[in-house]
Every structure is written in structure tokens, then in C-alpha cells.
């Protein structure tokens, strides 16, 4: 008989249907908001609970990544920004990813630009500055003075975007530690009629 429960992972509420059977591994499939899990009969409850959260998070991220890359053509964006370069490098692939480590990356081996999907929620000039930064790595694989000269020449918003991203990073790391009254003040500071 299947066990059913409700969980919330990364802000998404899911109905989990667990079926114990003669399988070697814990497997999961996500359809809409139902997570179907098959688990070995012998697996203990704690291990199963941890696996369910891990698998749910992985599947939610995979679906979100697919949706984001469907909504915005990363390669078209990169090719638009690459035209600003005096000698545009070839970029073969681009995609939005879900990563905590960085805003973007460039692979010399595959000529691929990867961009953090969170950038899509930021002002366009910030996204384009990160794209330009990664493209500049196709020419200068370091952060040398030549790299920064090139980047600033093709993207005058480079320093402004870096300041913006530093502020976003600081706020994201600090947000949970702020007293609720201060969080409420910050979220209410932006008023469309009084843009202060």
C-alpha cells in the first residue's frame, strides 16, 4: 500500500506518494506537484526522508532550468552581446544554470557560456554585463588589466553591474539574519510612486 504525505521543498509544496517494493535504489518521478517515489523495502525512514528531499530538490531544479532556458534563449543573448567585441570570439553554446557558486562561467574547451538563472530576475544591463564578462574570458582567460580594459570598452556598465551584484550577494547572505522588522522595512522601501 502506498504512503502519501505533503512536503515543501524550496517553497514548492508537493504531494509525495511512496511505494515500497523490491528495488535496489530510491527513485523518484515528478509530475506537476506529485512526487512518486519507489523505495526498497529495507530502507529506513530517516534515509528515505533525506533521499526524498534531495530527489525532489534535484527534480524541481531540473524542471526550473528547462523552463528558464525555454523562456530565454541564452545563446541568442550571448550572440547579441558578442557583436560589441572588436574581434568577436566564437561561442558555440550558452545556457542558464542553477548554481550557488558564481554568476557565470566560460569554458575554453567547449566554448560555452553558462549564466546563473537568477540573473534573469535582475535588470537587463546587469545580465548583459555578466555575459560580456564571460565572453571577455574567451579572449583573456584571466582577470588581467587587458581583460578589464576590453570588458569596460565593450560594456561601460561593468563596474556598476559588479557593485549591484556585490550588493545582491551581501543582501542574500544577510537576509535571514535581519530582524523581521528590518526585512519588512526593506521590502516596503520601493514604492512605485515614490521611487526612493
In this predicted structure, the answer to whether residue 159 has a pLDDT above a threshold of 70 is yes
Query: Average pLDDT, stretch 32-40?
Result: 91
> Which pLDDT score, from 0 to 100, does residue 196 have?
46
In this predicted structure, the answer to whether residue 105 has a pLDDT above a threshold of 60 is yes
* Cell numbers linked to 81: 552581446
State the residue range of the domain holding 21: 3-70
| End residue of a domain, out of 17, 43, 70 | 70
> Which pLDDT score, from 0 to 100, does residue 152 have?
97
In this predicted structure, the answer to whether residue 170 has a pLDDT above a threshold of 60 is yes
Tell me if 66 is assigned to some domain.
yes
* Cell numbers linked to 14: 508537493
Domain tally for the chain? Answer: 2
Asked if 156 and 104 sit in the same domain, the reply is yes
Enter the pTM of the model. Answer: 0.69
| End residue of a domain, out of 70, 101, 120 | 70
Amino acid at each position: 500500500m502506498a504512503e502519501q504525505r505533503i512536503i515543501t521543498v524550496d517553497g514548492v509544496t508537493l504531494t509525495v506518494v511512496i511505494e515500497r517494493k523490491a528495488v535496489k535504489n530510491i527513485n523518484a518521478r515528478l509530475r506537476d506537484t506529485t512526487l512518486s517515489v519507489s523505495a526498497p523495502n529495507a530502507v529506513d525512514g530517516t534515509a528515505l526522508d533525506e533521499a526524498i528531499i534531495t530527489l525532489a530538490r534535484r527534480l524541481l531544479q531540473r524542471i526550473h532550468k528547462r523552463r528558464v532556458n525555454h523562456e530565454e534563449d541564452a545563446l541568442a543573448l550571448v550572440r547579441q552581446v558578442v557583436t560589441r567585441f572588436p574581434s568577436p570570439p566564437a561561442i558555440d553554446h550558452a545556457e542558464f544554470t542553477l548554481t550557488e557558486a558564481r554568476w557565470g562561467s566560460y569554458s575554453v574547451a567547449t566554448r560555452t557560456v553558462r549564466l546563473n538563472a537568477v540573473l534573469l530576475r535582475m535588470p537587463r544591463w546587469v545580465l548583459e554585463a555578466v555575459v560580456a564578462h564571460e565572453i571577455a574570458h574567451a579572449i583573456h582567460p584571466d582577470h588581467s588589466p587587458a581583460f578589464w580594459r576590453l570588458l569596460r570598452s565593450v560594456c561601460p556598465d561593468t563596474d556598476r553591474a559588479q557593485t549591484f551584484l556585490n550588493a545582491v550577494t551581501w543582501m542574500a547572505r544577510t537576509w535571514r539574519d535581519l530582524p523581521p522588522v528590518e526585512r519588512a522595512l526593506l521590502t516596503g522601501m520601493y514604492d512605485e510612486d515614490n521611487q526612493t
